Amino acid sequence: MKRTKLFRKRIKVLLLGVILLCVGWLGGNYHQTITRMYTRFFHKPTVSVLMSTYNRAQALPYAIESILNQTYTDFEFIIVDDGSTDNTMEQLRFYAQKDPRLVIIQNNGNHGLIYSLNRGLDRARGKYVARMDDDDKALPWRLERQVWAMERYPEITVLGGGIIWEETPVTPPAGVPSINNPDEVEINTYFSSGLAHPTIMIRRDFLEKNKIRYDIQYTYAEDCGLYKDILAKGGKVSSLKEVVLHFGYVTGVVKPKKYAYIQGETFKKIQKEKLAPFFDAPQEWLGAFTGNEIRCNILKKMVPANKENKILNQEALEQRMQTVCRPFEVVSDPIKIKHPFWQDSIVLDKGGKKFYRQSVPEETGEIVKEDKTTVILSWDKWDEEVYQKTTKDEWQYMNDVNGNIKQAR
């Protein structure tokens, strides 16, 4: 009897040892798989970063690593391969083996960006969805600052941020993140996208509650269509007053044929729909790059109509009309401004000190210092910037007053 009990005890110890050995072996050989399963089934991330890619294998390392190296780490990174024929999937598998936060979705063919983004949205589990493009590079603090702002401003549904071109140095922001006036940003969406698509962060519960997804009828301007649908359901849009992304970081990326034309025509369709509650806008007034006179005409129609339908903030709309339509006595020809991420001209008032940006007249400022070789512009909404006078009517950006680009517009 005693021998039987001893035998059974030894068998139990042996079985326990075998089980522990198996668990150890599995943990050693399938650590990534186990970690991935745990992450997927037992941890709900705060942010779902969403990116679609198609034949961009050469660009992927920059985009992927810029997200994986974020200072904010509680996220899943959903990447949809839209039927790539290069070694994109090989790149994705490489990164997925290294980091369990990656979720790879592979389409059975090339179905386009809108289809791919919607697949990603259906898979997302985060409180927030952050968009990312495969030829951009997120700044290390992007997610941290945007989550902080979304928690601080719960009324905001979509939050964008500033962009800069290529590898321009950027000083890490300090202090509490601040945002642009949502009423002003909403008005911007009537004349442009208003927010750079790869910078946005969205409240996922708002999308689910209102059954909102990217709309296939808004090809190549799907972001504008998304904002339109969100605003129509009572959402609010804004952006951080700081840079979050190197835009177009990888150069030489080829766009589809007629991309710019289709995008322009799609935006006109969206703009026509957005303006419909105010007036029937003539086709020649539509477009993202119309002149100041046309924008003034549109705003003059919107202001009285808005008193009736109360779609936009009346005070903000009237202020925009005054800014765009105001008479401005020009003392000279517009001065060309060359900046790392935009080129435009500024128009001076009769005193030669105050100015507005020619293509975006709501961006105003004042010349605070000027000598024979340099000039300092103090923007009403942006940091002071130093320009070198290359010719009489052309100025070249040098830096902001701290020696870096700190804001983007």
Percent of the chain exceeding pLDDT 90 equals: 58
Query: What distance in Å separates the CA atoms of residue 398 and residue 409, rounded to the nearest whole number?
Result: 17
Lowest mean pLDDT among 19-23, 124-128, 167-171, 279-283: 19-23
Angstrom CA distances, 95 to 78, 101, 125, 173, 250, stand at 12, 10, 20, 29, 19
Confidence of residue 166 (pLDDT cuts 50, 70, 90): low
Residue bearing the bigger pLDDT, 165 or 266 = 266
- Tokens for 22, please give them: 């198996």
- What is the pLDDT, as a whole number, of residue 293? 84
pLDDT tens digit sequence for 311-351: 999 999 999 998 888 765 555 578 888 876 677 888 887 77
Beta partners for residue 275, in sequence order: none
Q: Give me the chain's average pLDDT, please.
A: 87
Residue 42 host element (H or E): helix 31-42
- What's the angle, vertex CA 46, arms to CA 168 and CA 199, rounded to 5? 30
Q: Cβ–Cβ contacts within 10 Å for residue 115, how many?
A: 17
Give Cα 96 distance to the centre of its chain: 24
pLDDT tens digit sequence for 146-162: 999 999 999 999 999 99
Statement: residue 137 has pLDDT above 60: yes
Can you count the helices (H) and strands (E) in the chain?
A: 12, 15
- What is the pLDDT, as a whole number, of residue 28? 58
Q: Give residue limits of the domains in the chain.
A: 34-247, 276-325, 335-400
Angstrom CA distances, 59 to 88, 248, 310, 361, stand at 10, 10, 45, 36
Statement: residue 177 has pLDDT above 70: yes
- What is the pLDDT, as a whole number, of residue 254? 67
Q: Which fold has domain 34-247?
A: Spore Coat Polysaccharide Biosynthesis Protein SpsA; Chain A (3.90.550)
- What's the angle, vertex CA 257, arms to CA 255 and CA 259, rounded to 5? 65
pLDDT tens digit sequence for 224-269: 999 999 999 999 999 999 999 988 766 656 677 788 899 999 999 9
Average of per-residue pLDDT across 369-393: 85
- What is the pLDDT, as a whole number, of residue 24? 65
With contact defined as beta carbons under 8 Å apart, do 292 and 320 qualify? no
Lowest mean pLDDT among 1-10, 121-130, 276-285: 1-10
